[in-house]
Amino acid sequence: MTSTEVLSMYENIAGLTNQMAAAARLGDWDGLSRLEAQCATEARAAGSGTPALSGAPRLRKIDLLKQILANDREIRDVTEPWLNNVPGMARQ
């Protein structure tokens, strides 16, 4: 996998998590679920071993990871209160 392919994969994941955050804000749970499945497929590829990056590509990857984490936080901020209101799903 080339550095361009690695960055493309992370850009795709960042885009998907951004769409997921938008779906969560809108309460579009079916859309969120569909996007989550797509994101999981991409994430499996990322977890299967990507080459180490250096220089500008490394900095871009770090920026993308920060975006992904920020989107994840936003999704959790929306979904956790909703899940706490679903019978049987409340945190113990």
pLDDT of residue 63: 98
pLDDT of residue 42: 86
- Concatenated DSSP letters for 27-74? T-HHHHHHHHHHHHHHHHHHHT------HHHHHHHHHHHHHHHHHHHH
User: Which superfamily does 3-84 belong to?
Assistant: Flagellar protein flit. (1.20.58.380)
Alpha carbon distance, N-terminus to C-terminus of the chain: 43
Sequence-separated (6 or more) residues with CB below 8 Å from residue 43: 13
Q: Name the residue type at position 59.
A: L
pLDDT of residue 20: 97
For residue 37, what are its two tokens?
């499945």
* Residue extents of the structural domains in the chain: 3-84
Going residue by residue through the chain (92 aa), what tens digit of pLDDT does each one get? 888 999 999 999 999 999 999 999 999 999 999 999 999 998 887 777 788 899 999 999 999 999 999 999 999 999 988 777 777 665 54
